[in-house]
Chain A
Amino acid sequence: MLVRLDHGSPVPLGDQIAAAVRGAIADATVHPGERLPAARALADSLGVNVHTVLRGYQQLREEGLIELRRGRGAVVTADAAAPGRARLTDGVRALVADARALGMSDEEVVNLVRGGLAGS
């Protein structure tokens, strides 16, 4: 798993960490059920605050990609579909970024997705 943090980027560091871990789950460098490095160790490696790493991990938990357990740390969801879900989440983020760049409103984006769902 490769994590690159650009401290000069406008993207929050927590989001950058989440994106890197999501990418690793998506391309199966990290397997379902595998334990991720402890937040403290990751923070020390990257020279950032532990809370920054935890924010990234928290985001991945909300996406259902990892589980956070007291004492066991962060574990990739033991679900064979985890890589696919990670790719899907990446796709959604790309979609949202593209839509924002085009100046679309939330309503328009949701309608676009709804149209896609209705068409399938």
Chain B
Amino acid sequence: MTVSPAAPPAVSPRPASGLRAPLVVAAAHLLACAAFLTVFLTHRDRLPDPVATHFSGSGGADDFTTRDAFPYGALGILLIMALLCTGLVYATRGHRVLVGLGCAVAGLVGTVVVAVVLNNAGAETADGVRLGPGTLGAALAVAAAAAGLGVPAGGRGPAAPQAKPDATVEPAPRFVLREGESALWTRGAGSRPVLVGGASLLAAGALLVPLAGWAAGLGLAAGGVVLCACFAVRVTVDRHGLTVNVLGLPRPRVRIPLDRIAEAGHRHVEPLRDLGGWGYRAVPGRSGFGLRSGPAVVVRLTTGSEFIVTVDDAATAAALLGALAERERERRHAAAGTTPGGG
């Protein structure tokens, strides 16, 4: 437990390159693996067989693994976490929050597996082995330290494009709808990093089922399905309004009807900055699908909040949506005008 598995590697203070942050996170995880292996090999002869590997809330052991299988299971978990965290940091071009999180996960998981070995060592049978809240506290402390060391080592993160005055929504160019004309705009949208993340979560879930039980594995796999669902969406603008369908299916879908649209425009959107992350997101005053950085349809609703969906050719979509919403408004005004008090 005294081993800190996440001391950052020595990195020269050069400007952040694309690989520096993922390498820092990968190194933190490799250190966690090395710490575990060192502690396991030096204490191997003093471990009971089977080894206690899972502990209840009160700290008592409630699941066991044979001594031969134990290091593979532990290393498997460590490596899955390493792949997930490194991949995520790489996909986000070294975002500082994720670098910190990645290092923290390395510290947390590393400390826990090391603590499992140390607490098992010297025990007659695995039944008496305990892992109390003290271990969790220590693991959290190591995680915090790892994050604190990892974030500065990971560089400055992606260049912040905030300097650009892109917070202003560009009004959509005029799109003239003729009388009796119906129009539709539709396009598939997705994000490769999200698909990779979803697929690796599915794989991790499948691997975790034999190692850590159904609950943990299914949770991860369900997360993978949700992520993959976010990868394959279809954005449609038509007489109903703006619709986002998931996985190319009629449902589930998110639809903004024309009569709830006050204004349609487009602008450059960074999902992490503007929506707090990727996928279907909601933050105060704003919700929508952030699948990648780039052009997005931005709709101001009659309630005053914003709905965003990142999609290529957002300018055309916004222009058509604006024209359709305008026509809908005129139609309702005309209807209200011709039937006064008609209710």
Binds B, one of A39-47, A58-66, A80-88: A39-47
Kindly supply a per-residue 1/0 record for chain A positions 37-56, scoring 1 wherever the CB is within 8 Å of any chain B CB and 0 otherwise: 11001101111100000000
In the complex the two chains form, is B180's CB within 8 Å of A45's CB?
no
Kindly supply a per-residue 1/0 record for chain B positions 185-207, scoring 1 wherever the CB is within 8 Å of any chain A CB and 0 otherwise: 11110000000000000000000
B178 within 8 A of A: yes
C-alpha gap A88/B320 in the complex (Å): 28
In the complex the two chains form, is A6's CB within 8 Å of B184's CB?
no
A41-B250 contact given A2-B316, A46-B238, CB 8 Å threshold: yes
Shortest distance between the CB of A3 and any CB in chain B (Å): 5
In the complex the two chains form, is B186's CB within 8 Å of A1's CB?
yes
Q: Chain B contacts of A29 at CB under 8 A? A: 187, 313
In the complex the two chains form, is A5's CB within 8 Å of B181's CB?
yes
Residue of B nearest to A35 (CB): B248
B11 within 8 A of A: no
C-alpha gap A42/B238 in the complex (Å): 9
Q: Chain B contacts of A44 at CB under 8 A? A: 240
A47-B320 contact given A2-B183, A3-B184, A29-B313, CB 8 Å threshold: no
Q: Which of A2, A8, A29, A41 has the most CB of B within 10 A?
A: A2
In the complex the two chains form, is B238's CB within 8 Å of A45's CB?
yes
The 8 Å CB contact of A45, one of B178, B184, B313, is: B184
Q: Chain A contacts of B313 at CB under 8 A? A: 29
Q: Give the A interface residue count (CB, 8 A).
A: 20
A114 within 8 A of B: no
B292 within 8 A of A: no
Shortest distance between the CB of A112 and any CB in chain B (Å): 34
In the complex the two chains form, is A46's CB within 8 Å of B181's CB?
no
The total of interchain contacts (Cβ-Cβ below 8 angstroms) comes to: 54
In the complex the two chains form, is B248's CB within 8 Å of A2's CB?
no
Q: Which of A3, A4, A29 has the most CB of B within 10 A?
A: A4
In the complex the two chains form, is A5's CB within 8 Å of B182's CB?
yes
Q: B147-168: which residues lie under 8 A (CB-CB) from chain A?
A: none
Kindly supply a per-residue 1/0 record for chain B positions 52-85, scoring 1 wherever the CB is within 8 Å of any chain A CB and 0 otherwise: 0000000000000000000000000000000000
Residue of B nearest to A48 (CB): B182
C-alpha gap A64/B182 in the complex (Å): 27
In the complex the two chains form, is B184's CB within 8 Å of A8's CB?
no
A70 within 8 A of B: no
Q: Chain A contacts of B182 at CB under 8 A? A: 4-5, 7, 46-48
Q: A10-44: which residues lie under 8 A (CB-CB) from chain B?
A: 29, 34-35, 37-38, 41-42, 44
In the complex the two chains form, is A6's CB within 8 Å of B186's CB?
no
C-alpha gap A37/B233 in the complex (Å): 12
In the complex the two chains form, is A2's CB within 8 Å of B180's CB?
no
In the complex the two chains form, is A1's CB within 8 Å of B239's CB?
no
Q: B231-284: which residues lie under 8 A (CB-CB) from chain A?
A: 234, 236, 238-240, 248, 250
Shortest distance between the CB of A46 and any CB in chain B (Å): 5
Shortest distance between the CB of B220 and any CB in chain A (Å): 28
A4-B250 contact given A37-B234, A45-B240, CB 8 Å threshold: no
Q: Chain A contacts of B183 at CB under 8 A? A: 2-5, 46
C-alpha gap A15/B247 in the complex (Å): 29
Residue of B nearest to A5 (CB): B182
Shortest distance between the CB of A7 and any CB in chain B (Å): 5
A42-B181 contact given A35-B248, A37-B236, CB 8 Å threshold: no
In the complex the two chains form, is B188's CB within 8 Å of A2's CB?
no
C-alpha gap A41/B187 in the complex (Å): 13
Shortest distance between the CB of B70 and any CB in chain A (Å): 46
Q: Chain B contacts of A8 at CB under 8 A? A: 179-180
Q: Chain B contacts of A4 at CB under 8 A? A: 181-183
- The chain B residues found within 8 Å of chain A, CB to CB, are 178-188, 234, 236, 238-240, 248, 250, 313, 316, 320
The 5 lowest CB-CB distance pairs between A and B, nearest first, are A45-B238, A45-B184, A3-B184, A4-B183, A7-B180
